[in-house]
A = this chain, B = another copy of it.
Amino acid sequence: MTTITIIGLGLIGGSLAVDLKSQLNITVIGVDQSIKHCNLAQELHLVDQVMSLDVGIQAADIVIIAIPVDQIESLLPKVLTQVKDQTIVLDVGSTKTAICAAVKDHPKRNQYVAAHPLAGTEYSGPQAAMRGLFYGKKNIICDRELSDQRAIETTQKLFNSLGMQSYFQSSESHDKHLAYVSHLSHITSFTLGLTVLDIMQDESQILNLASTGFESTVRLAKSSPQTWSPILSKNREHLSVAIGQYIEHLNTFKQALDQDDRDQTVSLMLKANAIKKLLNKSEQI
């Protein structure tokens, strides 16, 4: 019987818990500093048991840390220090460089695997946890050469059992890429939300007109600041460059509209259309 202790019972931790708990030979222990989250996780049957942090860590064959990224950075070294010699520790944070740097010289660095399962919704908390959230999605493992081969293999098997395939990348490269394909999308959604809310103050009718296109584009603006503020802060250097490039493209678009340069707007849209092929390619991976 493998015992997995999950620290943090929000959307990601809770969804991992409920899918892992349904597997044979796995006991899932939940840990959360919020009593409310602990109670909810038990009521919703996300975990087998709830324990205190220290007891949960001692009982674990595998520890998964699923809390905001700045808290992972401070908790991870302590967890590594406390775990047994055979225990594997994973985190599932959305930024990886600072977290990996925090345990770079830790004597048990080889027991730690830096993971990032690419799944989520705009909701948060144990009540947002859902079965099958990870199915068919990708998992990224960073800096594999710093982890034991056994730890890497166990991590791959664990994510395979959720229906995920794992890919390898350096933590620096991960953070740079995520700035573009995840964090920038959040910024553009939040900004769209702010812009539309502003105009609505004067124009109460406006949301009668919200279509499915708008809802899709603004969806991420519902995301939790508690989760996203640390992510955006940790990745602010890459993200700032990405936003700068985005503003340049946006100004080019605006200028073409202002000059009613239809050849230029068509050319920009045709270029952007190429995202189709890449998304399809990505779906096939």
Say yes or no for A130: interface residue by CB 8 A criterion. no
- Tell which of A203, A208, A271 has the most Cβ of chain B within 10 Å: A208
Chain B neighbourhood of A39, CB < 8 A = none
Residues A209 and B254 in contact, CB atoms below 8 Å apart? no
Tell me whether chain A's interface is mostly helix, strand or loop, or mixed: helix
Residues A253 and B222 in contact, CB atoms below 8 Å apart? no
Say yes or no for A249: interface residue by CB 8 A criterion. yes
Say yes or no for A275: interface residue by CB 8 A criterion. yes
**Number of chain A residues whose Cβ lies closer than 8 Å to a Cβ of chain B:** 93
Stoichiometry (number of copies): 2
Chain B neighbourhood of A276, CB < 8 A = 222
Within 8 Å by CB of A167, from B140, B208, B215, lies B208
From A1-9, A55-63, A102-110, A231-239, the one touching the partner chain is A231-239
Chain B neighbourhood of A197, CB < 8 A = 271-272, 274-275, 278
- Tell which of A138, A260, A272, A278 has the most Cβ of chain B within 10 Å: A272
Nearest 8 interchain pairs by C-beta:
A193-B272, A225-B269, A185-B217, A193-B275, A190-B272, A207-B282, A118-B211, A236-B257
Residues of chain A at the chain B interface (Cβ within 8 Å)? 118-120, 122, 137-138, 140, 167, 169, 173-174, 176-178, 180-182, 184-200, 203, 205-223, 225, 228-229, 232-233, 236, 239-240, 242-247, 249-251, 253-254, 257-258, 260, 262, 265-266, 268-276, 278-279, 281-282, 285
